[in-house]
Chains A and B, each alone.
Chain A
Amino acid sequence: MEETLEKPEKPVSRKKPKMTFESKGRTVYYQLQDKIFKYFALAATSLGLIVLVLLLYSVFSSGFDRLDWDFITSLPSKRAAKAGIYTAWTGTLWIMFLTTIIAFPIGVSAGIYLEEYSSRSRMSNLIEINIANLAGVPSIIYGLLGLEVFARFLNLGASVLTGSLTLALLILPIIIVSTREAIKTVPYTLREASFALGASKWQTIWNQVLPASVPGIITGVILAISRAIGETAPLIVIGALTYVPFAPTSPMDEFTVMPIQIFNWVSRPQKAFAENAAAAIIVLLSITFVMNAIAVYLRHRSQKKVKW
């Protein structure tokens, strides 16, 4: 539509630039264009919201009645009414915790190195391209890698540790990229001021650059973890279980996680299992919401302290 409007007008206005009638027409056209784009953007924004509301409505309407304390504290069962998610959510929290303490220091350090230390060499370009590519690798491939390297070669088995290491690899690119972006937003004058006062490179990074970029880094990490706790495929590949009648007590224990339990219940023929799945989705969503709330709070807290 845009092109058909524009094409006949362009040569006309170029030849007769002084004609006010023509330029008024163009103003009306631009205003219209402005309005159309505004409503298009509004529609795009609300689309995400509408989908979320529909999803929440369908999940809550079928799963909310099923949600009670017994559901949270019971073991999985063949009887839908008796089945619970105790081993699933404990598994998910274990995975979340271990994945974070593995991926966070490695990812942030790599981000700092690439942004602050490495010079523009062929090597660093190669690393950058690789990280960007890693972010696009399907998650099941990480599962295969985890199975061969961690579960079999390092002989860790289908343990919580294997799952966490695999998911840590999966989210490393996200953490590295978001760390770099956060560090980039720190103005260079801040570093120069620090150097001028005689601070070393390490002192500058630790005392100036990192505090200023913490909000961005934490946001990236939490988003990455949120992705990790929703993953099913790589964990099934490494051998994560579905029916586990005990919660993990050490990183070497076998485990299951919430998405696997949900996947299993959704595919069962009995409708009561579908209600269980909906209730489990509510719990998983709540965990994600709590994490996002923590992220927002941390960002807000650290942002207040940064004063340039």
Chain B
Amino acid sequence: MIKNSLVLAFSAVVLFSCGGSSDKISNGTDSTSTAKYEGDNTLKIDGSSTVYPISEALAEEFREQAPDTRITVGLSGTGGGFKKFVRSELDLTGASRPITASEDSAAKANGVEYYEIPVAYDGLVVVVHPSNDWVKSITVAELKKIWEPSAQGKILRWNQIRPEWPNQEIHLFGAGTESGTFDYFTDAIVGKAKSCRGDYTASEDDNVLVQGVSTDKLSLGFFGYAYFSENQDRLKLLPIDDQNDANGKGAITPTAATILDATYQPLSRPLFIYATKKAYEKALGKDFLNFLVEQSPKLVPETGYIPFDAETYKLVKDRLVAGKTGSLFLTLKSTVGVDLKAELKK
């Protein structure tokens, strides 16, 4: 009796798995022999979920021209990716912030040399509900007043920020403390990464923040530019004035153009892909990184991010060819307000 039911249970499971393996054959482009990348046809990519769409697009497009390769992309987050990267468990890792000093020294301790490759710009946007008719623009000082830790429990109404705004509650929505978006926003606005008030609606999922801001008349929130451009009818975008006329006078509305020419400051940040020197030394890694530099202007906009201009990508490639390893940001400490092109030229 028991035997029968056990046999049945197992045969059911076996049947499932057989279904899996027989279907394979029809789809088995990956089983053909490797010609160009004899020996090592794998490339492991992991890291930030913000950079993931770019890595996925690159891996997919690259596979179309080289179907016999095994390029995989994971989703461990910026910090999780670096932890594996510095143990050389990965070839490439995506990062929404530059490598930190402690991660860099861990890499050095393990003998891992790496290239730092900026791939695209991501803008952070500050948005309010579309029916909000009192806010036309906002300054960085006002944003700091709202978000700094001492605002907790004190700055609760719109007229506390600017006296002419209505005496109504303000409802705040923002990235959760685990995300790179949170780190960058607090660094750029409050002046210190991770320094922020705690009494706001936080989510790691930007779609939740879109939902929150678009259904609350008194809301103010921040998240990635791509999430705004997909939901333009439900949100009102705020131009931001950094009160520094050197990079554009007055309040600047975030667009692809203003993010690229660095007049939308300080809320535009570069995204990175880090590659181990070992990965660049193998044929597949080298081809993939060249592909990355060449195809990014075309592929990055499809993922909702803003590509650099041609000159920047060329500078990035020059650094690869010249074998310049290590990070530019260990001495700069922060990406806020950095002129990437000037730094790459150094």
Q: Tell me the A residues contacting B by CB distance below 8 Å.
A: 73, 75-79, 86, 89-90, 93-94, 96-97, 100-101, 158, 206, 210-211, 214, 218, 221, 236-237, 239-247, 249, 254, 260, 263-264, 266-271, 274, 294, 298, 301-302, 305
Contacts and interface: CB of A to CB of B under 8 A. Distances in A.
Contact of A245 (B20, B24, B63): B63
Contacts of B227: 269
Contact of B23 (A90, A236, A240): A90
Interface of B: 1-2, 5, 8-10, 12-14, 16-17, 19-21, 23-24, 26-27, 30-31, 46, 49, 52-53, 55-57, 59-60, 63, 70-76, 80, 84, 89, 205-207, 224, 226-227, 229-231, 299, 302-304
Nearest to A99: B13
Contacts, number: 129
Contacts of B30: 245-246
Contact of A78 (B60, B76, B224): B60
Contacts of B299: 78
Contact of B57 (A78, A237, A254, A264): A78
B19 A93 contact: yes
B75 A97 contact: no
22 contacts: A73-B26, A76-B56, A78-B57, A79-B302, A97-B13, A158-B74, A211-B2, A214-B5, A221-B9, A236-B74, A241-B75, A245-B59, A247-B24, A249-B21, A254-B72, A264-B49, A266-B207, A270-B230, A270-B304, A294-B9, A301-B5, A305-B1
Nearest to B3: A211
A56 B339 CA distance: 50
A235 B242 CA distance: 43
Nearest to A272: B230
Contacts of A236: 74-76
B84 A239 contact: yes
B60 A243 contact: yes
Contacts of B8: 298, 301
A267 B206 contact: yes
B17 A93 contact: yes
A97 B52 CA distance: 29
Contacts of A269: 206-207, 224, 226-227, 229-231, 304
Contacts of B57: 78
A242 B73 contact: yes
B230 A271 contact: yes
Nearest to B83: A147
A267 B74 contact: no
A78 B303 contact: yes
A247 B53 contact: no
Given A241-B73, A241-B74, A245-B63, A302 B52 contact: no
Q: Which of A210, A268, A301 has the largest number of chain B CB atoms within 10 A?
A: A268
Contacts of B207: 266-267, 269, 274
Nearest to A222: B9
Given A96-B16, A305-B1, A267 B59 contact: no
Nearest to B71: A245
Contacts of B205: 266-267
Given A90-B23, A267-B206, 14 more contacts: A73-B27, A78-B303, A97-B17, A101-B13, A211-B2, A236-B75, A241-B46, A242-B73, A243-B59, A245-B72, A269-B226, A269-B230, A269-B231, A305-B1
B230 A243 contact: no
A243 B5 contact: no
Contact of A249 (B12, B24, B302): B24
